[in-house]
Chains A and B, each alone.
Chain A
Amino acid sequence: MFSLGDLYKEVIIDHTKAPRNFGKLEPCSHDAEGFNPLCGDQLHVYLQINDDNIIENVKFEGQGCSISTASASLMTQVLKGKSVDEFNALFGAFHDMATADMDAQPDEETLGKLAVLAGVKEFPSRIKCATLCWHTVKSAIEDAGQPARTE
């Protein structure tokens, strides 16, 4: 049986209480809003992407549960300095980790510290909390103009 500790690891609690890169980024080249209608999570991400398609800076603000806040906080740390292509690869790897079979091992080489969120797959109703920020960045980059949704 999976324990609560698999989800609420110390790192996650730490990022919940002190989210990194929290706030507005001004000016920014891309931004988008994300909603999780199930729990009322609201997220706004801001990105500064340069002409070489490198994410120079990324910040977020909003209201959410521990999992969505910590996931966004960790994501911003990891994305700084990455290219948009690298973002897409990470997006795929993160999504796979969050929705994988119970006994699958996360791709730690690609994911690095993001692997700390692997526990969400044991909590089906919480997977969307962890993936919301990733969907939001994706829609910001693709300039979808529509708020991102986890539904």
Chain B
Amino acid sequence: MVKALKACWVSNMNIEQIRNDFPTLHQEVFGHPLVYLDNAATTQKPQCVIDTVRHYYEKDNSNIHRGVHSLSERATKDYEAARETIRDFFNAKSAKEVIFTRGTTESINLVASSWGGANIGKDDEILITHMEHHSNIVPWQMLCERVGAKLKVIPMNEAGELDLAAYVELLNERTKLVGIVHMSNALGTINPIADMIKQAHQVGAKVLVDGAQAAAHIPTDIQALDIDFYATSAHKMYGPTGVGVLIAKEELLDAMPPYQGGGDMILMVTFEKTQYNALPHKFEAGTPNIAGVIGFGAAITYIQNIGFDAIMQREKELLNYATKKAQAFEGLKQIGTAKDKACVLSFVLDGVHPHDLGTILDREGVAIRAGHHCAMPVMQFYKVPATARASFSIYNTEAEVDALFDALTKARDMFA
């Protein structure tokens, strides 16, 4: 563990060195060097994360919080150390507020079901933005259907920026929850969550921030922002799939009923009554993704060692470079041109459907996403069935952006 983590140290933003940390990047696809531009779907994993997961299975594999033997003690220590790493990274107040889940989707469902079920009733209002991922729409729709609450939508403009005046108009004393995506996976827009949270709190609403897309690209200080519920996934921040976190204020979690019942979340069970365990265990029923959580911790350490100053500067350069090329590319229309955006170039190309672009680019070794990006209301807003999306990460290069546009030229010529 310690040895694997040491490998996470990166002295500075040396792209070659960073690329060398990611084994998947070094392969050919159809005879071309892989150009991986689907980072918004999931990022690649650095060797230190792979090694950390492997170390757990090779040396420490055992269940946590229950064994008294050495392996279980080591695994429990690493699992809880990851919780502290993540607490520190997001500046949560206490490790009790850090609950491991399967990912953003499960974190949001947990809040909708447990907190929502207890606190949202008939004619109450839930406010979400027009650019939410389906995972921050559907759980609320399900809740509304169950309790008779109303789902309202904060509109956006053609650039893909939220209409903040309309937001303030929509807020009222019936608003119980505001759900905001920190950074849109379909558009790249970074939303002004600091002001939006203050405004929501003024009417007594709680705020859930979907950090799935933002967490690897922009620093998030949960206490400074006064976020009530924060959800994110490890796999979009260089960590394993199927693991994520819900971070929520202790007083909210304390008052919430458990989400799932089972092992680990109890203190005392009789057939008459069960006493629930203390936070965070109350919300972690069953054997969790232990290797995943420990790997998540390693991924966070990897990000911390590079540092957000370097990450943001690098990703801004890349996005600017790609955006200039996109503006000069005939027939290309960008979808999402917010002033404040990161890492995502979503677009449509005249005469070539995004799905065909995806296939044609793949044959050139360029991996992009084509589709609705689990944000169908965004597609409806722009009246397109789908977009093509290139999304960037710290390990991408200008040469890869060039490869993207060379491949796009080929695709355009095929359908010319």
Chain A residues proximal to chain B, CB less than 8 Å: 1, 3-4, 7-8, 13, 16-17, 38-42, 63-67, 69, 123, 125-126, 129
Contact = CB atoms under 8 A, between A and B. Distances in A.
Given A1-B30, A4-B414, A66-B353, 11 more contacts: A3-B363, A4-B359, A4-B360, A8-B414, A39-B355, A39-B370, A39-B371, A64-B385, A66-B355, A67-B355, A67-B356
Contacts of A40: 371-372, 376, 379, 385-386
Contact of A16 (B30, B370, B372, B415): B415
Nearest to A66: B356
Contacts of B352: 66
Contacts of A63: 385
Given A16-B415, A17-B415, A66-B353, A42 B363 contact: no
A89 B362 CA distance: 34
A65 B414 contact: no
B386 A39 contact: yes
Contacts of B356: 8, 65-67
Category for how many chain B residues contact A: 20 to 34
Given A40-B372, A40-B379, A125 B359 contact: yes
23 contacts: A1-B31, A4-B360, A4-B363, A4-B414, A7-B359, A8-B356, A16-B415, A39-B371, A39-B372, A39-B385, A40-B371, A40-B372, A40-B386, A41-B355, A42-B385, A64-B385, A66-B352, A66-B353, A67-B355, A69-B353, A123-B359, A125-B358, A129-B355
Contacts of B360: 4, 8
Contact of B353 (A3, A64, A123): A64
Most chain B CB within a 10 A radius of its CB, from A17, A39, A123, A126? A39
B38 to A, nearest CB: 13
Given A4-B360, A8-B414, A40-B386, A65 B353 contact: yes
A1 B379 CA distance: 35
Nearest to A36: B355
Interface string B398-416: 0000000000000000110
A66 B385 contact: no
A7 B356 CA distance: 10
A41 B415 contact: no
A6 to B, nearest CB: 10
A17 B372 CA distance: 23
Contacts of B355: 39, 41, 65-67, 126, 129
A88 B376 CA distance: 34
Interface of B: 30-31, 351-356, 358-360, 363, 370-372, 376, 379, 385-386, 414-415
B406 to A, nearest CB: 15
B410 to A, nearest CB: 9
A123 B358 CA distance: 11
A65 to B, nearest CB: 4
A34 B116 CA distance: 35
Contacts of B414: 4, 8, 13
Nearest to B370: A39
A100 B285 CA distance: 45
B354 to A, nearest CB: 8
A123 B30 CA distance: 13
A118 to B, nearest CB: 16
A125 B385 CA distance: 17
A13 B416 CA distance: 9
B308 to A, nearest CB: 34
A63 B380 CA distance: 13
**Which 7 residue pairs spanning A and B have beta carbons closest together?**
A65-B355, A65-B353, A40-B385, A40-B386, A39-B355, A63-B385, A66-B356
B371 A38 contact: yes
Contacts of B363: 3-4
Contacts of B386: 39-40
A28 B16 CA distance: 62
A64 B386 CA distance: 9
A7 B363 CA distance: 12
A119 to B, nearest CB: 11
Contacts of A17: 351, 415
